[in-house]
Each structure stands twice: as C-alpha cells, then as structure tokens.
A and B are shown apart, each in its own frame.
Chain A
C-alpha cells in the first residue's frame, strides 16, 4: 500500500466530515413555527394500533403546539437513551418508564419535578410522587385457555406445585419477567430459590420478551403464560374470543405502573406539564386502555364492558426504592436457581 500517506487520509476524512456537518446543519434549520414538545416513548406506544396517534391528535387540538414522538425499543431503552444523551437530550417528556425504573431515573437526575394536579387519580393508587405521573397500570397474571383448562390454579403456590406447563419471560430482558421475579420474592422471600427450582421442572421455556412467550402460548405451547390481567380484554374486544382468562391468585398480584416525567433538560416545562395533565384527563384515559391494553388511573374512565369482567386482584409488592436496591441480588438468585 506503500506511498499513500496518513496526511491524505486525514484530508479525506475531514472533507467527509465537513459535508456531513453541512447536511446536518441544513436539516436542523427547518424549525417549526409552533413550539414542539418532544416525547420519548417505546415503539408499541406509537404504532398505528397503539395510543400514540390518537393521543397526539387529541392533544394537538388544544395545545397550539406540535407533539413529536421519538420511539425506542422499550421502557428501559428510554432510560438508557436519556442517560447517554445527558444534557444534550431532545426529550421534554419521558413516557413509558415503570415503577421498577423510577428510582434509578430519579437518582441519575434525569427528571424534574412536575406541578400536575394528581387529585383526579384513583385513591387506591395512593400516588404522590413529585417527579412521576402514572398514566396506566396493570397486574401481572398467568393467562390460561378455559377450554383446555376448565379449573385453573388459584394460587402461586398451587401453580408451582402443579405439573402444569408454564412459559414466562426472562427477568433480565423483560418487564413481565421482572414483575414475576418480584412476585416470587414478595410471596416466598428467602425461600424463593427452592420454588424457582421447583417451577423450572415444568417450565417450557423462558423467553426474551413478552410476545415470544404469549404467541407460543396462543399456539398451544403451554397451559399458562405470564402476561397481564387485561390480556383477556383484548381477545374479547378485538377478536370476540372469550376462552382466554387470567388466573386470580390468593397471595395477591404485583402491579406495574407506567409513568411519565419531565426531562430535567426540557426548555418548555410548562407545555410538558400540560401534556402530563392531559395524560390523566378523562379524554386520554379513555384512549389508553383499549390501545395499550392496561387499566386507567382515574375512576370512572369510559371503558368497554369487557373490562368489567377482568379479575380484581389484591396488590402486593415493593416500593421503587426496594426494587432498585435489591434487583441485582434477586437476579443472581434467579439465574442460579433456575439454571439448575
């Protein structure tokens, strides 16, 4: 390759960079005349059948602004992205973190306090967080096909002792998986490893994410699959199928609350607050349950009948602080016990 020098190479590279920078500059000067609110969220939220498009239309009708969603893979990717971007982030609002991520996000200083009025939230949520506003919640539950399993198990204990085929998600890569890990700790405490081992004996597989598990179950891959209490509502409303049901467990269920917060580096906190208030308004709360398939956070939200038939579990679990500080230890315990 001989005579070609590093100097020439440097010139080439710098020419390329100049061109790139020029193009970048051009694309950024196309500023909108209305203020723009940038919301980071996860992919399925803004898919055409997700809540995003309808929420955008409803919010833009009144805000004199334009709402821009930027979607990443999932809740934890929202956290990672804002963390990597630091103060250069474009986000005004982070939408789609959950109670397991709240504490880490707060400790990293990525969000600022909101001034949204929370009095409209359902009393049972008992919500008073200064940084995060809940926009939907759901209980983790095991779903079964009542045509195949006429008499379901009635407790976590019964499920573990049974020989029913179970599919759940990996707690290292999936939110329901993490929820299940929390569930096991809430019910069994230090005794969880022995129970994990027992469950491993009749676990078909542990999948990376929710849909792999759920689609395998729908294709007959197991008797039970870990999902949400709201899953049967989807089948009833969208498919008219009533055989899929959630098993109600005596020990109580773990709830996942999805939250939104204002980025610490947002330059339009007022508009962001307006959006948070909109999220818990009756108008938005009517849209979210039937598009994101979760439960509304306000009482008397307008819902299809199918939601009345869902099971109403007791809530058990841990605070966000407890979740954040114990998570790694619990994960190690799980991978040790379940890999044997």
Chain B
C-alpha cells in the first residue's frame, strides 16, 4: 500500500530529521567525553550521597505522579458527569495555562502564597515549611494535575453510549460502574500519564533548586548541574547523566510501548448520553470542581500584592516590551522548527503504525521524542563544550538556542500531532493513496483535517518555549534578552517589584496564547463532529 512516506523527497527529509535529533544528543555526549578525557565513573554509583540523590529523585517523582493523577481523577469525573458545571471551558483553559506556566512565575506565586509570610500561611499548621519535599510536591502537582485532568476527562468522553446504557440495564452500582465502565476506558491513559508525569518530575530542575531547601532534596538533574558548573567535573556529570538517561529512558520506553496518549487536544466524541447522578454525588463533584478552581487560581492571585509595590515610574517599559518581543520571536522560531521536525519525524511513525509494525513504531517514536528523557543540562552543556572552540557562539549562539529549544519541544508537539495524523491515515489514507495524489495535492487534502491541531500544537510549543531559561543561560546573548532572562536580571540586582511585574507580563502573554490555542481547539471540535459522518466505527 502506498503512503505519503513513499515520496522520495519526504523520505529523505524524514531521514535528515531523524539524523538531526539523534546527532544533537550524540554530539552533546561526545562533547562531554571529548574534553579532558572524561569517562564513566562506575564507583560513583555506590557513593552514599549519589544513592541518596537517586532515591530522593525516584521518591519525589513517584509521589508527584501518583498524587497528580489521584487528584485529577475526581475532578475529571466531575467535568465529565456534570456538563452543567459553570465555566467549564474557562477551567480547561486554566488547566492548560497551569501546565505551561513558566516555573519561575509559579515559584514566585507559591512563595507569596505559602512561604513564611505567605497569604494563607497563618491558617497552615504551625510547623509548616514550604521548602523541601512539601514545596517540590506542591509545585509538581500544580503543574501536572491540570494535564491529567484534561487527558482523563477527554478519555472519559470516549466511553461509548452503549456501555452506559448497558450499565444501567444491568443495574450496576456506582462502584461497579467505575470498575466495569470507567476504569477500562481510562486505564491506558492513566498508566501513560503516570509514566509521563514521572519522567517530567524525575528530570525536574528549577522547581527542585528553588523549593528543595537544601542538599537533602537534590535530584539527579540538579546534581548534574552542580558537577558541570562549579566543579567542572565532567566525568561525574557524564556518569550521572547516563544514570538519569537510562532510568528515565527505560520508563519512557515502557510508556511508548503501552500506547496512545491522546492528550491536550479536545477530541472527537461529543457527549450524547450521560448517567444521571444522585444529589449527594452531584454536590461532591461540584465541591471537587470548585476546590480545584481555587487551587489553580490562588498562586496567581498571590502575585498581585508584590506587583502593586512597583513604582510605575521606575519601570523600563521599552525594555520590557523589547524583551517580550524577543521572547516571542525566539519562541516562534523554535516552535516553527519544532513543528517542521515533528511533522517529518512522524512520517515513518505513521507508516509503521498503519502497517502494524509495533516494534518499529516504538523504536522510531522513542528516537523522535527521546529529548524528553535526555538531561537538558547535558544537551546544552555538552554542545556548548563541543562548539565553543569550533564555532563563534557569540554570533551563532542564537541559532543553536533555537535549534536546541525546538528539539526539546519535540516530545510535546509529537504527542499533540500524532493522534490526529494517525486518524487521518486510518480514515483517508487508503483513499488518498489509491488516488495517487501528488505531494501538493496530498497537502491540500490533509490540511483541513490537521489545520486546527497544527495551530494548537504550535501555540503549545510557543508557550513552552517562552519559559526557557536553562538553554538561554548557556547559548543566549544579552542583546536579545528574553522576558525570563530579564526577570533574573531584575531580581539579581535588588529589583524585586520589577521582576514581579515582568513575571506578570510573561504570564499575561501565556494566557493570551492559551486563549488562542483554545479557540482553535473549539473549531476543531466543530469540524470533528462533521468528520463523524464519514468515520469508521472504531479507530483507536
């Protein structure tokens, strides 16, 4: 059967895309090894301090993942069972905003909310301390529960009406309904989510550094940073990096094996038939819903008092706007590149999926999205060490900054684009192959189908790119200071109120993009409804 990937030109482009993403990681590790003859130190793996870091990394990531998913489940059910809830759409947008929120902004918010003199600290227990495991978990839960809510509520929407009807005819109890109808529908996503959130938290950096509270709570990523930065101990960094890469990589491979995560996109099914809830149960669900509204909004509201201290006359408005402009510019460039790469990388994956070559699909998918598990610190530092003596980074740093950022965005963009493209292949792949369309005709056929998801993924990529500080701190250039960089700059020279204001501007830009993103998702739901007419009975 012929497929879009049979086009020679696209085939070569896909190979180039794979080579690029593999090359970037290989070069980074080569950069570390090539300098000063760094080597793996196996002995380090038995060092009590390293073991402690390792067990803490695993513990906090495990807890973060479990708690995020456990908290998301009741809210997702409330969203599903009670279509009459107020401001549901706004809530889902807020969830997305929370997931992409720059950690710098979140941390400031959390500290003003429940730091030592936080707004709600007086009502917390006396021995409350935000710093340490508490703070790390709260921040991770804040960032990831919203993602889980969106994925799970969407998954619930996939439950066919017939199942609910059957459940009613069989007079299932609530519990039986949950175990027989809901659980089978959400189980694959639940496992996938656990794995995904685990990997994100396992590699967590900024949150752990800011809220860890001391050497007791250090993750591998932080330890790598310290080894690279202050000790310039490349062997130690390399060993820790491999340790992290292997562990996170194994977990991630399991995820890829387990299957499909249809995540941030609003999906195709619309609700037609709902089980009716009892009064008490309705109240309970409503409470879950409003509580999560509160939890997501509080850290943002807590930012406001600090900002009001800023003297408006002191504010360098042109500087702020310029930084916002550069942030958007770099974000746009990285997001466009990421979209292009993702699209090319997906070509062989789609083909493998269509031809039911499971193993090939898993390997390709792992390669395409492996930057989710590769320590970002190692990628950027390794490349820096490799390139610095060879290329004039003061001129070319920004290009590499965009490139590295786009590669780091790939896992997110691919997760977003993949389901829709696979859906297209299933529905129209055969047809368009039989028509022997040219590439340009093929594009004109596929475009209406993927337009909204493309715009949506683009917005997501842009949002995530806007928060970058880690890569900028290495490849960035002060002439093109971005907003997050400016925030660090302000705060580093005693200008806290300006820093808070810049944070708020960054947050506002993110909120605006989320708004745009959601609008496109809405149009997608509309088009999907018409797709349904031509849809094959089962497609995932």
Q: Is A211 a contact partner of B492 (Cβ separation < 8 A)?
A: yes
A165 to B130, CA, bound (A): 13
Of the candidates A8, A221, A340, the one whose C-beta lies within 8 Å of that of B111 is A221
A334 to B215, CA, bound (A): 9
A187-211 CB mask vs B (1 if < 8 Å, else 0) is: 0000000000000100111111111
Tell me if A212 is interfacial: C-beta within 8 Å of chain B.
yes
A1: chain B residues within 8 A (beta carbon): 5, 11, 14-15, 348
A106 to B165, CA, bound (A): 79
Tell me if A262 is interfacial: C-beta within 8 Å of chain B.
no
Of the candidates B212, B306, B385, B489, the one whose C-beta lies within 8 Å of that of A43 is B489
Tell me if B273 is interfacial: C-beta within 8 Å of chain A.
no
Which residues in chain A, 58-101, are within 8 Å of chain B measured between CB atoms?
Answer: 70-71, 73, 76-77, 79-81, 83-86, 88, 90
Which residues in chain A, 205-254, are within 8 Å of chain B measured between CB atoms?
Answer: 205-212, 214-216, 218-222, 234-235, 238
With A50-B493, A172-B230 as given contacts, are A205 and B213 in contact (CB-CB < 8 Å)?
yes
Q: Is A4 a contact partner of B11 (Cβ separation < 8 A)?
A: yes
A235 to B495, CA, bound (A): 11
Question: 21 A–B contact pairs at CB < 8 A?
Answer: A2-B11, A4-B11, A4-B12, A13-B19, A28-B392, A47-B493, A81-B388, A84-B35, A84-B389, A173-B209, A173-B225, A173-B226, A205-B214, A216-B111, A216-B115, A218-B496, A219-B111, A220-B115, A221-B116, A338-B214, A339-B216
The chain A residue sitting closest to B389, CB to CB, is A88
Tell me if B395 is interfacial: C-beta within 8 Å of chain A.
yes
A339: chain B residues within 8 A (beta carbon): 52, 214-216
The chain A residue sitting closest to B20, CB to CB, is A13
Tell me if B290 is interfacial: C-beta within 8 Å of chain A.
no
A79: chain B residues within 8 A (beta carbon): 232
Which residues in chain B, 203-245, are within 8 Å of chain A measured between CB atoms?
Answer: 209-216, 225-226, 229-232
With A219-B112, A219-B496 as given contacts, are A200 and B395 in contact (CB-CB < 8 Å)?
no
Tell me if A3 is interfacial: C-beta within 8 Å of chain B.
yes
The chain B residue sitting closest to A336, CB to CB, is B49
**B410, chain A: closest CB distance, angstroms:** 18
With A172-B226, A221-B115, A340-B216 as given contacts, are A234 and B210 in contact (CB-CB < 8 Å)?
no
Of the candidates B15, B19, B211, B473, the one whose C-beta lies within 8 Å of that of A73 is B473
Which residues in chain A, 126-183, are within 8 Å of chain B measured between CB atoms?
Answer: 165, 170, 172-173
**B37, chain A: closest CB distance, angstroms:** 14
Q: Is B395 a contact partner of A24 (Cβ separation < 8 A)?
A: yes
Count of chain B residues with Cβ under 8 Å from any Cβ of A?
57
> Residues of B at under 8 Å CB distance from A?
5, 8, 11-12, 14-16, 19, 35, 49, 52, 111-112, 115-117, 129, 131-132, 209-216, 225-226, 229-232, 306, 316, 319, 348, 384-385, 388-389, 391-392, 394-396, 473-474, 478, 488-489, 491-494, 496, 499
With A214-B494, A335-B215 as given contacts, are A3 and B226 in contact (CB-CB < 8 Å)?
no
B492: chain A residues within 8 A (beta carbon): 43-44, 209-211
**A55, chain B: closest CB distance, angstroms:** 16
Q: Is B494 a contact partner of A234 (Cβ separation < 8 A)?
A: yes
**B24, chain A: closest CB distance, angstroms:** 13
Count of chain A residues with Cβ under 8 Å from any Cβ of B?
68
With A28-B392, A85-B388 as given contacts, are A220 and B229 in contact (CB-CB < 8 Å)?
no
**A39, chain B: closest CB distance, angstroms:** 13
15 additional contacts (CB under 8 A) given A172-B226, A207-B209: A1-B5, A9-B15, A27-B392, A50-B493, A83-B232, A172-B215, A173-B229, A203-B213, A203-B214, A221-B117, A234-B494, A238-B494, A336-B49, A338-B216, A339-B216
Tell me if A294 is interfacial: C-beta within 8 Å of chain B.
no
Of the candidates B8, B229, B389, B395, the one whose C-beta lies within 8 Å of that of A86 is B389
B306: chain A residues within 8 A (beta carbon): 219
Q: Is B231 a contact partner of A328 (Cβ separation < 8 A)?
A: yes
**A13, chain B: closest CB distance, angstroms:** 8
The chain A residue sitting closest to B19, CB to CB, is A9
Q: Is A207 a contact partner of B388 (Cβ separation < 8 A)?
A: no
**A88, chain B: closest CB distance, angstroms:** 5
**A181, chain B: closest CB distance, angstroms:** 12
**A289, chain B: closest CB distance, angstroms:** 14
B489: chain A residues within 8 A (beta carbon): 43-44, 47
Q: Is A49 a contact partner of B11 (Cβ separation < 8 A)?
A: no
Q: Is B116 a contact partner of A165 (Cβ separation < 8 A)?
A: yes
**A231, chain B: closest CB distance, angstroms:** 8
Tell me if A46 is interfacial: C-beta within 8 Å of chain B.
yes
A338: chain B residues within 8 A (beta carbon): 214-216
B384: chain A residues within 8 A (beta carbon): 84
A139 to B442, CA, bound (A): 69
A45 to B379, CA, bound (A): 27
With A4-B8, A4-B11, A88-B389 as given contacts, are A76 and B230 in contact (CB-CB < 8 Å)?
yes
With A73-B473, A86-B389 as given contacts, are A24 and B494 in contact (CB-CB < 8 Å)?
no
A1-42 CB mask vs B (1 if < 8 Å, else 0) is: 111100011001100000010001001100000000000000
